[in-house]
Structures are given as structure tokens and as C-alpha cells.
Chain A
Amino acid sequence: MEIKTFNIEEKLSPKYFLEQIKPYLKFLLKYDQNKLWEMDTQLLPKRLQKLRRNYRTFAEKHLKPYALEIDVNKNKELLEKVKIEAAKVGYFSDLLPSPIGSVDWFTYRYPFHWIAAIKYEELCAACGGLGLLIGAHSLGVAPIIISGDLNIIFNHLYPILKKNKKGIPTLMAFAITEPSGGSDVEDTEGGARYKPLTTAKRVSGGWLLNGRKVFISNGDIAHAITVFAAIENKGLDSWTCFLVYDGTPGFSRGRNELKMGQRASSATELIFEDCFVPDSQIVGGLEKGWMLNRLTLNYSRIPVGSIALGIARGAMEHAIDFAKNYTFSGKKLIEYQEIQMQIADMWILTSATRTMIWQYAKTWQAHQSWSSMIKVFCSDTAMKVCEIAMDILSNHSIYHKNYVEKHFRDARLTQIYEETKSIV
């Protein structure tokens, strides 16, 4: 059956109908033919609207053109270029307001995980891996900010952020996962039974770290890492957050894992062999690591949800572009009712996800239940959307140049990191 599309001037069109209604009702009813993305943007406060547009422009200009090449060959020159551009616009220093960070105070009245959610949706719509590369830095910075430890903030974080603001990318990473317990260290019940493998031994003037961390995003390029280690002979409740710099004696890097997706960001093994960390580099105090870890994850799972959303939206946009341009059996693919329904499904799923994220990100307090819920729902939805996108492209979807298979691979990781969905 042919589907009739009404011209705006026709009597049956909603526009015509709306022109006939009383003026005071026009406040309540709207028929907007703007792009759907723009309509969503208008739901945000003015300052965040501007930010969202900036993020999109940046992603289109600096991430999207390099996404495929970096995904396959991990071209270091291109990666460096992206990092410099991101540092210049302040994406590595936007968790704190100026003069320490790069966010102005008017923007900072909105919760930073809301700003992060908007940011990572846009960046990951262009490339999930590059989005994660930028996001993993913020994850490394987050425990320092949450700790409120002024010594660390002024003496260690400030110089890092200052360099970034000057356009010299100086990245951080967050190291909790251990070879024998990825999800145990992110969950209370698992944590109670878990025997930590990375430990800190007291020595004069500081601590000696021993052990290994695995799958650390940005682990290979980070200048400083917030490492969580238990006090020797104690359990996970003694976890303490240490700030370890690149080049510290006793600290080395193991293998970089070959991942299925999000390849722009590495997953690196970190090795600590009698690595000395002075007392002044303990973040938030001794044995406060578990609390910092939990709070950081509560805040970061919301942006993880938006990473999933961004990847899904990217896949959807590519699928729509393909359907608009590909002719099949004499007419454009998008003219088939089945394809239109699938596009509508993708739009409904991504809109519902975005609504959920923005709803909970509006409050400063990040509840564990909310953030976990967001993470699971968004990552599952992202997979569904990517599957539909691949179905729309059919046998064209398997080719790398069409982007969609990359989004599919990228989306799968969001179901795994920051606790696998079955444990969350």
C-alpha cells in the first residue's frame, strides 16, 4: 500500500489544522518540521543546547573522518591529532570550573554527569572508540574530584589540567580491574569475598605497590593513573586510591589487548613491582578507596549509558542515510513500509534511552540504582538498535566502509565494561 505524505498546505495536514485553532492554544500544540535532533536539543536549557551543538560540530569535524582508519590500523598520528584538538577545546579539563578546569561557572550549575552524558552521546555517535578515549581520562580524574582532596587537586591535578588547556594532551586513567576479578571489585557482595591481588605495603615515607591491573582504558598513553590497591594482608575494604605517574620506577605496562570494538582506546595491562608511591599521592585518605570507587562508578555509569546511546544513534543515522540513497527493486529503500517501521523503532528506542538518561542526570546526586539501571537499559537498547541497523543494510552491513558493523562491535562493549550486565 502506498503511504500518502501530506503537503503542508493540504487541508488534512497537521500544520493546516493548527493554523485554525485559537491563539492561546498555540502555546500547547506545536507542529515542528525541524530535524528531530534539533527538537531534542531544544528540550535542554539554553547553555546546554549550545554545548550539545558544539559537541556535535567537533565530533563531525575531528572524530568522524578518522573513525574507520583508527579502528583498523590505530594510526598513531591521527590519534595524536584528535587528542590535541580535544585538549584545545577543553574536553580533557571540563570536569572542573575555571580557573582550574575549563568549564565556565554558568555551565557548572548543571550536574557534570548531565554535561558528560550530552558530550559522550555526540562524540560516540561519530566514533565509540574515540569517545571512550576522551571519556576514560575523565574517569581517571573523577575519584580525585570526588575525594575533595585539595592537596591532590592543587598539586597534581591542576598541573595536568593546565597542560591540557594549553593544547598538550596529558591523559589520566582509572585502574580497578584485576585479572581474577573484574566485576568483584565493582560490587559489594563480590567485594566482600574477593582477595585483592594488587596490594600496598607500608615503607618509610610511602607505599610499595605490587600486583597487576588489566583492561585499563588509556593505560598505554596515560600520564597519571588512579590505581586502587588494598593494604597488605587486608581485604577490599582497605582499598586505597594511589596516584601513580608514568615513569615511576617499578611501574610498567604489559600487553595491549586486541579488542572486538572501540579499538581507538586501548585496554592495557599495568604491572606494579615494588612501585613506590609517596604518602602525598594518596587520594582521599587511607582506606577510602572503596568509597571513591563506588561513587565514581555511580557517576560514570550514566555517561556509559550515553556512550551506548551515542553508538546506537550513529548506527541509526548511517542506516537512514543508506536507506535514503540505496535503490532496491526500482525504489528507494526508505520508501518500503517495513524499513520505515524499523527506522521508527530505532528512533523510539534511542529517544526513550535519551529521555531516561536526561531525566536521572538532572540531579546532582547519582543513585547507584539509577545509574546501574541506565547502564543496563542503554547498553541493551544500543545492541537492539545496531542489530536493526545491520538488518536494514543487509549484506552491505558486513563491510567496514559502511560504518554500521563498527557501531555494532563498539556497542557490544557497553554491555561488558563497568560490570557485566548480568551482575549489575
Chain B
Amino acid sequence: MIEKYINIPENQIELYNYVKDYIKKIRNDYQNTEHVISEEILLKHLNELIEIGIINTEENDNEFSIWSYHQKNSLFFSIICLLELGILNGGLSYICHQYAISSFINKSLKLSGNFPSWNFVQGNYGIARNLLAKYLFSPIDKNELSALSQYFEISQPTIIQIPDFISYFSFFSIDDSNLSDHSFTLNLAKIHSRKLLYPSHGIEEIKTSEIQFEIVQSFNVPSNLFMEIFSRQILGNLSIATGRLIYAFLKALKYTNERIQGGQLIFEYPAIQNLLFNAESIIELSLNSLFQCGTYHSEKDLLLKVFRIKKQIMPLIVNGISDCLQTHGGYGYMRDYGIEKAYRDANHLKQLYGTSNEISIFIAEAYKNKIKELLI
């Protein structure tokens, strides 16, 4: 689907076709379903994706896997993969994304053994935000770090979205007593018990549970790597959300060309054409931004880019899907049509890793430090 919007580089086209064929093969499992795909099917497809090397593991890491450690090509390729998977289903793409991120951490830290397959950052995201905002514009000296320490809150996740088949997960924390470039810690936790909660707003395939866990291992993580992981988390979410928008747009296009209202096809009304045109403009904008990030290689600047893009584009994506939903009238609100799920999935992803206002708050904070330089 994505090749309609962008030329896939020659060295990646073979693998891209591989992904496309695979998605074509499993597409039937995702059609004519009311809304949520079972974990069994997701796990089966996840394993198949690992088998063919699209998702990297310790054994099969190659430069084309999603979020491969050989990042030069993988950044671009991951975006394409997650876009394609996002068009298919929010749950599968999110699982693949988190799985690949964990493998990326595993490889980056050169860890061996049974490292977890699930990465979790948002639980103590508040800790990182201030520091990130500072990092974006200037290196932090010791004084600044100690001043910052008063803002830190150490919290541990208690409610997370995690599939049943995963019993380990990882989360970041920070040592606020002695802040340095190596204060980030990655904790590996084993889940002891989980209590299933009501479904989340979106990505319903993955269950939301209240968990009790025990930290079994901790690793020091350099701040650069932390930021890179962070960038990739956001980029992946953006790719999935854009995939969901493409799905909604195609659905709306089909529906408006079939449905007659007031004696003519809905598509023939200028107001509807306008809504669809808006949605496609947003797809174009989002893809261009994503692909630009995909060819970028500086970790520090990448995070800044990603933050800016997320702040501006995520709300647009949600609005774009909302417009596509509106063209369906009452049918758009019903679960059978799938478009309301795409809407919730995208809105769900919008809330993770900083909402627009939070990004604004902390980037504005960082600008305060930069203002003197800007004035000069």
C-alpha cells in the first residue's frame, strides 16, 4: 500500500515485497471480524514474522528487521513495516513494535539470555520528560542535574497493557541521588500476578492489567541510548497511527463510492470530497515527516524532530480518522465497520509518550535556557 505514496529504495524492495505478501496472506484473518483479534492469532502471526526475519531476535538480527541494531536501514524499513501492519490491525502492529523495541534494547546492551519481550516506558515517563527537555537543547552539567532532581518522581508501573503470553517486562527508572549520564536504569521485572481490568480506550487486542511484579535485574543505560529508544517508540506509534489513518481513508473512499444518499453517491457531495481530501493531505504530510525521520541518523536531533512531529501530526491524524468516520454516518459509530476502532487506536497512541500540551510544557521549559543564545 505504501508504495503508492513513496518509492521504496531498491535495496529494500525485495524485503518490502516479502512483508507485503505476508500481510496479503494473513489479511483474511483480519477481515469480517467485529473488532478485537484474539491473542492466539496475534501470537501466531508474531511468531511467523519472527521466523521470516521481519522482527529481530537474538538469532536472526539483520539490518532489515524492525528496529534492528544495525540501524542505518532499519529506521526506514521499520516505519514502512509498521505502516503496513498499522493498516491491517492496531493490535498486531503494536505487539510487533514493542517486541522489536525490546529486541533492540537487548542487542544494544549486548545482553544475552531470556530478556523480556515487552518494553514499557510510559509508566514513569514523568521522570524522563524534564530531563529530556533539557537534553534536547544543551548538555546538562552537574549543577543543573542536581537542580532538576527535585522534579523527579520515582514511580513504578502498576497498570500496563501487556499480552497474556508475556511474563517479563522492562521499565526505565532514574537514580536521582547521583545524577549523571549513566543514571538511567533499565529494570527487568517478572510479573507475579495480574488482574484483568476493563478494556483500554484503544489497541484493545492487548489487555490492560493491574500487575504485581518483582524486579529481577537492573542495567545501566547511557542517556543517548535511552533517547534513541524513546524516539523509536514515538516513531513507531506515529507509523501505526498513520497506518490506521490510511485504513480509515480507504474505507471511507469505498463507502462513499457505494452509498447513495439524497439520490446521489455520497462521494459526489463537495463537503464529503473536502473531508476525504483533508484526510489524504494528512496522510501525505505524515508520511513525508516519517520518511524524513527514517533517513536521519543523529540520535539527539532525531528525538527533537520526533517530538515536534508528534506534537503537530498526532492530533491531525486523529481528526483525519474522525472525518473518515463522519462520512459513514451512523454506520461509522458501529463496531462492525472497523473505522471506530481505527479512531480509538489512533487516539490511544496519541496519549502515549507525551500529549501535545506536555510536550509544549517541557520544550517551553527547555527554551527558557536557550533564550539567551537565541537573542544573541
- Taking A183-B261, A399-B200, A401-B198 as contacts, is the C-beta distance between A416 and B332 under 8 angstroms? yes
Can you pick out 6 interface pairs between chain A and chain B where the beta carbons lie within 8 Å of each other? A259-B333, A328-B153, A391-B351, A394-B351, A394-B358, A399-B159
Q: Is the CB of B330 within 8 A of A401?
A: no
Listed stretches B11-19, B59-67, B167-175, B340-348; interface member: B340-348
Which range holds the interface residue count of chain A?
35 or more
Give the distance in Å from the alpha carbon of A393 to the alpha carbon of B344 in the complex: 16
Listed stretches B21-29, B122-130, B213-221, B287-295; interface member: B122-130
Of A72, A260, A329, A416, which is within 8 A of B130 by CB? A329
CB of B71 closer than 8 Å to a CB of A: no
CB of B275 closer than 8 Å to a CB of A: yes
Identity of the chain B residue whose Cβ is nearest the Cβ of A181 in the assembled complex: B261
Give the distance in Å from the alpha carbon of A260 to the alpha carbon of B344 in the complex: 9
- Taking A258-B336, A260-B340, A401-B197 as contacts, is the C-beta distance between A416 and B263 under 8 angstroms? no
- Taking A395-B352, A398-B201 as contacts, is the C-beta distance between A259 and B335 under 8 angstroms? yes
Q: Is the CB of B261 within 8 A of A395?
A: no
Question: How close is B145's CB to chain A, nearest CB, in angstroms?
Answer: 15
Q: Is the CB of B208 within 8 A of A399?
A: yes
Give the distance in Å from the alpha carbon of A261 to the alpha carbon of B159 in the complex: 23
CB of B7 closer than 8 Å to a CB of A: no
Give the distance in Å from the alpha carbon of A400 to the alpha carbon of B348 in the complex: 12
Listed stretches A41-49, A128-136, A187-195, A352-360; interface member: A187-195
Spell out B's residues near A (CB within 8 Å).
34-35, 122, 125-126, 129-130, 150-153, 159, 197-202, 208, 260-263, 271-272, 275, 315, 322, 325-327, 329-330, 332-336, 340, 343-344, 347-348, 351-358, 360-361
Question: How close is B220's CB to chain A, nearest CB, in angstroms?
Answer: 23
User: Using Cβ atoms and an 8 Å threshold, which residues of chain B touch A247?
Assistant: none
The 8 A CB mask of A255-293 against B (1 = contact, 0 = none) is 001111100000100000000000000000000000000
Known: A329-B153, A339-B357. 9 other contacts (CB 8 A): A190-B262, A258-B35, A259-B334, A259-B335, A329-B130, A329-B151, A394-B355, A400-B199, A400-B201
Give the distance in Å from the alpha carbon of A215 to the alpha carbon of B334 in the complex: 9
CB of A336 closer than 8 Å to a CB of B: yes
Spell out A's residues near B (CB within 8 Å).
68, 72, 177, 180-184, 187, 189-190, 193-194, 214-215, 257-261, 267, 327-330, 336, 338-339, 342, 383, 387, 390-395, 397-401, 405, 408-409, 412-413, 415-417, 420-422
Of A68, A184, A215, A338, which is within 8 A of B330 by CB? A215
Q: Is the CB of B330 within 8 A of A416?
A: yes
Q: Is the CB of B347 within 8 A of A390?
A: yes
Q: Is the CB of A180 within 8 A of B260?
A: yes
Question: How close is B140's CB to chain A, nearest CB, in angstroms?
Answer: 16
Identity of the chain A residue whose Cβ is nearest the Cβ of B272 in the assembled complex: A422
Q: Is the CB of B126 within 8 A of A416?
A: no
Q: Is the CB of B334 within 8 A of A390?
A: no
User: Using Cβ atoms and an 8 Å threshold, which residues of chain A touch B326?
Assistant: 415-416, 420-422
Question: How close is B156's CB to chain A, nearest CB, in angstroms?
Answer: 14
- Taking A257-B336, A408-B347 as contacts, is the C-beta distance between A190 and B261 under 8 angstroms? yes
Q: Is the CB of A187 within 8 A of B330?
A: no
User: Using Cβ atoms and an 8 Å threshold, which residues of chain B touch A328?
Assistant: 126, 153
Question: How close is B359's CB to chain A, nearest CB, in angstroms?
Answer: 10
- 3 closest A-B pairs by beta carbon, nearest first, are A193-B263, A400-B198, A190-B262
Q: Is the CB of A189 within 8 A of B262?
A: yes
User: Using Cβ atoms and an 8 Å threshold, which residues of chain B touch A260?
Assistant: 333-335, 340, 343-344
- Taking A260-B344, A397-B351, A399-B159 as contacts, is the C-beta distance between A72 and B330 under 8 angstroms? no
Give the distance in Å from the alpha carbon of A143 to the alpha carbon of B155 in the complex: 57
Identity of the chain A residue whose Cβ is nearest the Cβ of B361 in the assembled complex: A338
Of A68, A184, A261, A408, which is within 8 A of B262 by CB? A184
Give the distance in Å from the alpha carbon of A125 to the alpha carbon of B120 in the complex: 34
Most A C-beta atoms less than 10 A away, residue of B35, B150, B333: B333
Give the distance in Å from the alpha carbon of A420 to the alpha carbon of B333 in the complex: 11
Identity of the chain B residue whose Cβ is nearest the Cβ of A329 in the assembled complex: B151
Q: Is the CB of A391 within 8 A of B355?
A: yes
User: Using Cβ atoms and an 8 Å threshold, which residues of chain B touch A395?
Assistant: 122, 125, 351-353
- Taking A395-B122, A397-B201, A400-B198 as contacts, is the C-beta distance between A336 and B361 under 8 angstroms? yes
Identity of the chain A residue whose Cβ is nearest the Cβ of B148 in the assembled complex: A329
Identity of the chain A residue whose Cβ is nearest the Cβ of B152 in the assembled complex: A329
Give the distance in Å from the alpha carbon of A116 to the alpha carbon of B362 in the complex: 44
Q: Is the CB of B329 within 8 A of A420?
A: yes
Give the distance in Å from the alpha carbon of A215 to the alpha carbon of B337 in the complex: 14
Give the distance in Å from the alpha carbon of A390 to the alpha carbon of B159 in the complex: 17
User: Using Cβ atoms and an 8 Å threshold, which residues of chain A touch B336?
Assistant: 257-258
Give the distance in Å from the alpha carbon of A358 to the alpha carbon of B275 in the complex: 32
Question: How close is B362's CB to chain A, nearest CB, in angstroms?
Answer: 9
Give the distance in Å from the alpha carbon of A184 to the alpha carbon of B269 in the complex: 14
Give the distance in Å from the alpha carbon of A238 to the alpha carbon of B351 in the complex: 50
User: Using Cβ atoms and an 8 Å threshold, which residues of chain A touch B335?
Assistant: 257-260
User: Using Cβ atoms and an 8 Å threshold, which residues of chain A touch B351?
Assistant: 390-391, 393-395, 397-398
Q: Is the CB of B330 within 8 A of A177?
A: yes
Of B199, B333, B355, which is within 8 A of A390 by CB? B355
Question: How close is B93's CB to chain A, nearest CB, in angstroms?
Answer: 17
Give the distance in Å from the alpha carbon of A308 to the alpha carbon of B318 in the complex: 20
Give the distance in Å from the alpha carbon of A339 to the alpha carbon of B355 in the complex: 12
Give the distance in Å from the alpha carbon of A191 to the alpha carbon of B327 in the complex: 19
Question: How close is A423's CB to chain B, nearest CB, in angstroms?
Answer: 8
User: Using Cβ atoms and an 8 Å threshold, which residues of chain B touch A181?
Assistant: 261
Give the distance in Å from the alpha carbon of A329 to the alpha carbon of B155 in the complex: 11
Give the distance in Å from the alpha carbon of A394 to the alpha carbon of B357 in the complex: 9
Q: Is the CB of B357 within 8 A of A338?
A: yes
Q: Is the CB of A416 within 8 A of B347?
A: no
Question: How close is B363's CB to chain A, nearest CB, in angstroms?
Answer: 11
